[in-house]
């Protein structure tokens, strides 16, 4: 969709960036090239320890959630947290230890 965006807006033209501006193309390009979705929650299989990791680093544990923004992942990770260690589909521990208490 970004490549075929027909919505041109010449009013956004500036001396620094002259010419037409494609609203959807420019917006999609900005988001896809930003670090907005460059984090994962990883989980250690045996201990179910979850942590947020930048996507730029090689995954050490299994990918559990993401990619997503760091702020969104913190909320998601904490909503997938079972401190009782009963549900094997959730995180039993989070790192740092106070990640879900703040």
What is the per-residue pLDDT across 40-71, written as a single tens digit (0 to 9) for each?
Answer: 999 999 999 999 998 888 887 899 998 888 88
Mean pLDDT over 62-88 rounds to: 92
What is the average pLDDT score of the chain? 83
Omega within 30 of 0 (cis) for the link into 96: yes
Domains in the chain: boundaries:
2-33, 39-94
CA atoms of 52 and 95, how far apart (whole Å): 8
On whether the CB atoms of residues 69 and 36 are closer than 8 A, the answer is yes
CA distances from residue 54 to 12, 93, 98 in whole angstroms, order as listed: 34, 19, 19
């Amino acid at each position: 969709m970004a490549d075929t965006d027909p919505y041109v807006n010449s009013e956004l033209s500036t001396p620094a960036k002259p010419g037409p501006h494609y609203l959807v193309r420019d917006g999609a390009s900005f988001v896809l090239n930003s670090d907005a979705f460059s984090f994962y929650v990883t989980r250690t299989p045996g201990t179910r320890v979850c942590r947020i990791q930048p996507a730029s680093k090689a995954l050490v544990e299994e990918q559990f959630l993401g990619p997503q923004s760091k702020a969104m992942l913190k909320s998601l990770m904490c909503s997938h947290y079972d401190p009782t260690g009963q549900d094997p589909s959730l995180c039993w521990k989070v790192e740092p230890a106070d990640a879900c208490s703040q």
